[in-house]
Structure 1
Amino acid sequence: MSGQLSGKVIAITGAASGIGLACVRGCLDAGARVVLIDYADDKLRSLAAELGENAIPLRVDLTNPESVAGMMPGILDKVGHLDAFHANAGAYIGGDFIDGDPDAFDRMLDLNVNAVFRTVHAVLPHMIERGTGDIVVTSSVAGHTAVPWEPIYTASKHAVQAFVHALRRQVAKHGIRVGAIAPGPVLTPLVANWPKENLDRAMASGNLFDPKEIAEVLLFMLTRPRTVTIRDIVILPANFDI
């Protein structure tokens, strides 16, 4: 345990798997108390039992406004305050747009975009009142360039990037830092939804990296002096080029 985050409370969405779980483990190892926010109630309880008393489960359906409205009261009830919020949960749709399902587009956009807006809106009053805080959003390299095999996902991450940078300018005066982590392909359950030929090609070339690398980036961002804001970090597998 490094102790870099001792005394800090961090809430992470999509905490039960993938990047979210890796970030939970990284923050716990650094000494933080971590609120694990996810829809998977059974998995949350199991993880809390495995990870110890500093891992606090909180079931929230991020696509349900009423559930999101109860998120911040739930955090405060369990841990008393919040230092950092990692809006990490997301979904993926790739492939040819013409073959896609518009209803699936809506579901993904609700999680990737609207849930980010709602959850960040929910935590901001507390951070403004305290005069400090960190908000980090999991974006994607697709938020920096238009990826032709994932047009709807790319659109969702461009929206996230615009939101992060506009919000950062609004809330800096309150002592709140806002930034984005933009990974390339990460070995998480989301890649199961890739077009098969893209996944096969990435696996064959070693073009996926471990989600613990994202946890290291999150830790770096959260431990900078308060005079420093990390606006974006783009992190890619060594052989990935787009």
Structure 2
Amino acid sequence: MSFEGKTAWITGASSGIGAALAREWASRGARIILSGRDQARLASVAEGIETETLILPFDVRDDEAMRAATSKAIAWQGGVDIFVANAGVSQRSAAIDTDISVYREIIDIDLTAQIAATQALLPHLVERQSGTLLFISSIAGKVGVPMRTAYCAAKFGLIGYADALRAELSQEGVLVHVVCPGSVATDVSRNALTADGSRRGRSDQVIDNGIAPAEAARRIVDAVAANQREIIVAEGMEEAMGEMRRTPDQLLDQVAGMVAAGYMEKMKAEG
């Protein structure tokens, strides 16, 4: 798959994997739309990108702002070819200590808002009968990891949504990919929420020693180009855990086959 002249829209693009993906896709000839809450940080990322770039700042939890951004993204170059649902926040707290408001906030940001943004873009992609959706989940979306119960719930849920959506869109020309990163050297741990919802403010050694964001982005874009549906970007024990819980391609094919055989039409007819 060539990305030359394609338009890639990335949320959570002000740092980490999102910013690295923007640079990687731009290096392969794609135009880039950068979204996040901080316009100044998005502008800083845009400065290092040589292809055409549009900055669309908004909070993913603001549905009205998200829909307005979707309209602008579609109108910018006549359509969105790649959408990356990357915005998110992690957690570092034991379930027994964690206020329910923290669960609601993490699930809202990491799952519900990502679904809402995708749903807003779906009619455009289906109408064009083309496009690529990329959901940034986590190894913690495959394996329950202590001190991350809310984060795991959201990331497991994101994979479930993406897998079901992939099957539904399998006859519509729209590709769906799930990425499960392990430890990548970003601020994810530093920005994680604690039991009371406050920012943790410090990182983990395993994160600091993790895969460089640029390397993670290269692996991800290579896998998208190869049409790999589930993309594990991890090393060592994390990679082994992800591979152990990898969804077999045969199963993904089987579910897509149900759609091709008219499963959805039959369900709709039955009401």
Q: Give the match for residue 99 of structure 2.
A: 101
Q: Give the match for residue 206 of structure 2.
A: 202
Q: Give the match for residue 138 of structure 1.
A: 136
- Structure 1 residues 44-59: aligned runs within 5 Å: 44-59=42-57
Q: 1:126 to 1:102 in 2, by over 3 A?
A: same
Distance 1:9 1:155 in 2: 31
Aligned length: 233
Q: 1:147 to 1:135 in 2, by over 3 A?
A: same
| SS of equivalent residue, structure 1 residue 134 | strand
Identity over aligned pairs, percent: 28
Q: 1:136 to 1:98 in 2, by over 3 A?
A: same
Shift, 1:172, TM fit? 1.0
Q: Give the match for residue 163 of structure 1.
A: 161
Distance 2:142 2:120 in 1: 26
| SS of equivalent residue, structure 2 residue 17 | helix
Distance 2:82 2:183 in 1: 25
Aligned equivalent of 1:24, options 22, 25, 36:
22
Aligned letter for 1:71?
A: A
Shift, 1:45, TM fit? 2.5
Determine whether 1:220 maps to 2:218.
Answer: no
Distance 1:49 1:77 in 2: 22
| SS of equivalent residue, structure 2 residue 14 | coil
- Structure 1 residues 34-45: aligned runs within 5 Å: 34-45=32-43
Q: Unpaired runs of 5+ in structure 1?
A: none
| SS of equivalent residue, structure 1 residue 103 | helix
Distance 2:232 2:4 in 1: 27
Q: Which runs of 4+ in 1 moved over 6 A?
A: none
> How large is the Cα RMSD of the aligned pairs?
2.2
Aligned letter for 2:41?
A: K
TM-score, normalized by length of structure 1? 0.88
Aligned equivalent of 2:125, options 117, 124, 127:
127
Distance 1:116 1:176 in 2: 17
Shift, 1:213, TM fit? 2.7
